[in-house]
Amino acid sequence: MRSSPIIGLCVIGAFALTACGGAAASSPAATPSSTPDRSVQVGATFGTDPGDVAITYDPALVPVGARAAVSSETGDDGTVVMLAVRGLQPDRRYGAHAHVEACGDTGDAAGPHFQNEVDPVQPSVDPAYANPQNEIWLDLTTDSAGAGNATADVEWGFDRDRRAKSVIIHEMGTATAPGEAGKAGARPACINVEF
């Protein structure tokens, strides 16, 4: 038995007709969203090769063989980014942020912090811009085994054209005072993330 002709499915309401050509049409009832959903997960072992996904520039602070995992989910309510590490120095505070450029030969290659509203004054040390609502801050304190994790939750999203490209791990926790906000010292390690 031959099944019913496809055309029979195409006359169910005015909107169904637009989908009969085969192209994927969005539902007319869907809520418009200015931020497309976006999701990424990275798990990597720190190495010293600039081509590695996770690179250590200072193996005393971030040893070769230490592990990092980063996840980022952008949806209608904003973005949640999580960082988990293990194998770092025990009982130690590290700063960490999303940065605008990919990892490179040195920690500086990752450029400044990704900001939702970009500070017209660079480098940005103004708490009005350098803060954990306008940037992705992932500071963490490791436990006695060198493991730690952090979560950042912001109200804005990444998309294909406007996104961070790395997470830098810094040598100390992030400062918040005017004139030094966002600073966290040297950049011992970097993780490439396609936010």
**SS3 call for 9:** helix
- Minimum distance from CB of 59 to Cu ion (Å)? 19
Q: Is 168 in the site for Cu ion (CB under 5 A)?
A: yes
Q: Is 181 in the site for Cu ion (CB under 5 A)?
A: no
Q: CA neighbours within 13 Å on the CB side: how many for 34?
A: 5
Neighbour tally for 36: CB within 10 Å: 12
124: Cα separation from own chain's centroid: 19
Instruction: Answer for the pair 135, 95: CB distance below 8 angstroms, yes or no.
Output: no
Q: Is 152 in the site for Cu ion (CB under 5 A)?
A: no
Q: Is 163 in the site for Cu ion (CB under 5 A)?
A: no
- Minimum distance from CB of 31 to Cu ion (Å)? 35
Q: Is 97 in the site for Cu ion (CB under 5 A)?
A: yes
What do you get for the CA distance between the two ends of the chain, in Å?
50
**Residue with smaller CB distance to Cu ion, 97 or 163:** 97
184: Cα separation from own chain's centroid: 18
Instruction: Answer for the pair 175, 97: CB distance below 8 angstroms, yes or no.
Output: no
Q: Which residue is nearest to Cu ion (CB)?
A: 97
- Cα–Cα distance, 141 to 92 (Å, whole number): 5
- Minimum distance from CB of 179 to Cu ion (Å)? 17
The stretch near Cu ion (CB under 5 A) out of 29-37, 86-94, 140-148, 167-175 is: 167-175
Q: 40-79 mask for Cu ion (x: CB under 5 A)?
A: ----------------------------------------
Interface residues with Cu ion (CB under 5 A) are 97, 168
